Amino acid sequence: MEQREIDEKFMRRCIQLALNGRQNAKPNPMVGAVIVSRDGRVIGEGYHVRCGEGHAEVNAFASVKPDDEALLRESTIYVSLEPCSHYGRTPPCADLIVRKGVRRVVVGCVDPFAKVHGRGIKRLTDAGIDVTVGVLERECKELNKRFITFNERQRPYVLLKWCMTANGYLDDNFSPTMLSTPVTQMLSHKLRAEYDAILVGRVTAERDRPRLDVRHWSGPNPRRIVIDRNRPFCPSADFSRPVIPQLFAWLHDEGVQSLIVEGGAETLSGFLQNNDWWDEIRVEVAAKTVTGGTRAPRLPDNVVQTRRDIYGDNVIIYYAKRQE
């Protein structure tokens, strides 16, 4: 096997480990680490379990058996995210790696967090360690797309989500459960448990009285937000500015890293107006057709389909922005 393939194999394992932090690592990113001895044996593994507790690297070093400690000097540590260089709730991982004396560090992607952002890598190279950055970078970024968007763009990762009939109408004339199936409803609730906040427009809030909580899955409820475009978002807001940038600024201050926008048509179209106001679109298409009602929002021209899942008569399609 070539070195690149070996690196990808162990980075894939890092991602797999990182995913164990899905529910509890928040608001920290999900991170996994693997330590491999010179002869290619995994001698340590770890992931970031819970915010406030040890980082992935700390847990990986702690898992190394006493008999294998001597191998560290000739080993490689793989980490899905750049090792940190700052004193946060825990001390810097880059310093720990230097102290442990590993020979090589392989990093999935750079940490977008301003206090780290390249400094962890610099600390390692300054200490004379061989550092490789960007192995399975796309996958590592995908893993923490919410954390990355929040830190890079100073706004939450935005998912626009709607359900429509086969002929393109929203479900406003039905109860929502009539279009989605028990399974797709459960998946919507799973998504809610994974996002920090969920938002609807005033009209939808008043007409549908949605609960916007997690009932058909288990996990924390997202924060529920209603916007009204005729009202300023926060008490000190400037009336002449659009609602969405105000909302983003406030959500960023509140540490909300991810947001689901669930409707109605006008609210969704508001977010679709500007390419910088959304990240992903999820459309559930039911087999039913109706005559009349509210047309579902039109997809922007620059979208690409990234996934298409079939659930009985319904299909869920995911779209992302085409990379320029």
Is residue 84 within 8 A of residue 55, CB to CB? The reply is yes
What dihedral do alpha carbons 197, 201, 207, 208 form, nearest 10°? -30
Tell me: does residue 116 bind Zn ion (CB under 5 A). Answer: no
Q: How many CB atoms lie within 10 A of CB 276?
A: 13
Kindly state the helix (H) or strand (E) to which residue 139 belongs, with its residue range: helix 137-143
Stretch binding ligand AOF (CB under 6 A), from 80-88, 166-174, 241-249, 269-277: 80-88
138's contact among ligand AOF, Zn ion, none, with CB below 5 to 8 A by partner kind, is none
Smallest gap from Cβ 29 to ligand AOF, in A, equals 5
Locate tokens 């609960």: which residue? 211
Q: Give 91 or 219: the residue with its C-beta nearer to Zn ion.
A: 91
Q: Which is nearer to ligand AOF, 111 or 280 (CB)?
A: 111
d(CA 276, CA 120): 29
Closer to ligand AOF by Cβ: residue 94 or 164 = 94
Pick the binder of Zn ion from 84, 110, 244, 296 (CB under 5 A): 84
255 annotated as a binding-site residue: no
Question: Closest approach of Cβ 32 to ligand AOF, in Å?
Answer: 8
Q: List Cα–Cα distances, 295 to 18, 108, 140, 173, 322, in angstroms.
A: 40, 42, 37, 12, 24
Length of the chain: 324
Applying CB under 5 A, among 12, 26, 48, 55 the residue interacting with Zn ion is 55
Q: Using the rule CB under 6 A, is 272 a contact of ligand AOF?
A: no
57 is catalytic: yes
Interface stretch with Zn ion, choices 18-26, 43-51, 87-95, 201-209 (CB under 5 A): 87-95
Range 3-13 burial, b when 16+ CB lie within 10 A, else e: eeebbbbbbbb
Query: Least distance to Zn ion from the beta carbon of 57, Å?
Result: 6
81 touches ligand AOF by CB under 6 A:
yes
Based on the shown chain and the rule CB under 6 A, indicate whether residue 83 belongs to the binding site for ligand AOF.
yes
Return the closest-CA partner of residue 133 out of 106, 112, 114: 106
The answer to whether 57 touches 46, Cβ cutoff 8 Å, is yes
Which of 299, 302, 301, 294 lies closest to 317 in space, CA to CA? 299
* CB neighbours of residue 119 within 10 Å: 19
The distance from CA 309 to its chain's CA centroid, rounded to whole angstroms, is 20
**Cβ nearer to ligand AOF, comparing 28 with 180:** 28
Of 127 and 186, CB closest to ligand AOF: 127
Minimum Å gap between C-beta 301 and ligand AOF is: 35
- Considering Cα of 258, then 217, then 206, then 234, what sign does the dihedral take? negative
Question: At closest approach, how far in Å is the CB of 166 from ligand AOF?
Answer: 43
- Does 55 appear as a known binding residue? yes
Residues tagged in the binding site annotation for Zn(2+): 55, 84, 93
Which residues of the shown chain bind ligand AOF in the complex (CB under 6 A)? 28-29, 31, 48, 55-57, 81, 83-84, 88-90, 93, 111, 113, 116
Active site amino acids: 57
